[in-house]
Structure 1
Amino acid sequence: MATTYNFSEKQLKMLSSTEGLKLLAQSQQMEPAKVLKTLQYEATLEKLQIELIKLQTWVIEQNKRICILFEGRDSAGKGGAIRRVTHHLNPRYYKVIALPKPTRQEKGQWYFQRYINRLPNPGEIVLFDRSWYNRAVVEPVNGFCTDEEYQNFMKDVNHFESMITNDGLILIKFYFSISKAEQAKRFKAIKVNPLKRWKMSPVDEQAQKLWPKYTTYKEAMFTQTNTNYNPWIIIKANKKMKARVEAIKHILNLVPYKENS
């Protein structure tokens, strides 16, 4: 039985656009509702990205410093969200930081030092794809730090963040939250895609098995580091497009760029 669609005139116009017809032609099952959803998402995203350009212009002109942390379980969509945030920004004035495991020299330094060295300069936006909060969850779960190192971090992190924000830095902390079933689904999709297999690390391979342990440390992180001045923003990320839009809207709402734009 054929599916009956009741589209408005505006929706039909979107579907009959060049981009809409292109997506319909690419869709094996010819699902107009799904194509329309994608078109609406792209239109919304474009409007938000225009506002992000205004925000960046304000940051540059006012010599502001913005640091955005993207945290969450493996395959939660952090990287995809970062790409949408930065897609049309001037690359001279933003940096995406995804640090590898610390070097031998860095292991002997104060834990926050390697992150301090990468905080934004005046007029710059820095986005961390995982941040100093590795020590709050990933490291203790996988045995990459001692309990003493973990406890010292949890004792110091709020003071560290107060220091940098009291100095004028704007800090935004995102946590992308997905379900265990959604993570398993995404891992499966990555493994069968030869262009994405590189994304699966040994840590990723253990993520499902260690799910409860991750949850315990994640909840402890929220309890101890969700402060009034530097709160966590939890993004429900099972739906990637919705999560990306929500994250960008939060950035635009939290940075007072409109007052001076």
Structure 2
Amino acid sequence: MKILYFTSTGNNLYIAQNLGGELLSIPQLVNDNIFDIEDDVVGIVFPVYYATSPKMLREYLKKVNIAADYLFLIASYGSDGDQNALRIMTKTLEKRGMAVYYTNSVLMVDNYLPMFDMAKEKEIKDENDILNAINIIKDDILMKKEFKLSKKMFTNVPFIEKVLESTMSKKFKIVVGEDCSNCKLCVKVCPRGNIELTEEKPVLGDNCEFCLGCVHHCKNNVLNLNQEANPDERYINPNIKVSEIIKSNNVG
């Protein structure tokens, strides 16, 4: 079994690790120009961004060729939008001749800082519930169960993605403050290779995924958003090492 995953704070890597198999980071696959994936069982594990998936993953799905007897999709989400994101991805793959047999989702801590208070999120999302949900999905996959979340939410996919891009790029901005320690974590965890250190200060390029990995990992809160629910709180999955996220995303 091969699992393709996208992660910024570790949630989706945590899901992928618990499901097992050979784990393949999507940023690394893109960086290495690997678009042919083959195995008996192949899965894609990803976060929900505004009722769809990360832009990098959407771009990758337009090129990837997956040869598998059983293809499944798992989305992590914080409040809603999971079923719509799964529907969009299923439709994208099936249009390209790749049948999806199973889709499901896991409710986890949402790292979207403009909307969610990380302190409250960590209080209301129980780790045991998360692991139990993953284990149920794991059993389904081992049995090659056929199942799809079916609730229909939105239909206009281009509109959703247009709103996503305009919201991320115009309304919310990552602001660079002072006192950078030059740890380079922001550079290393960025899946797009979109950050450089100039005169020991992070400089963001024009290819931001808005995964907020750089903000959550910043030790001195040098990186912030212009609008945040709680500027003093950050979130990284406690079961995942920072070095694992760097290994997944460092494409510099």
- Sort the TM-score into its range (normalised by shorter chain): 0.3 to 0.5
Q: Which has the higher helix share?
A: 1
- Larger RCO (alpha carbons 8 Å, 6+ apart): 1
Q: Which has the higher strand share?
A: 2
Normalising by structure 1, we get a TM-score of 0.34
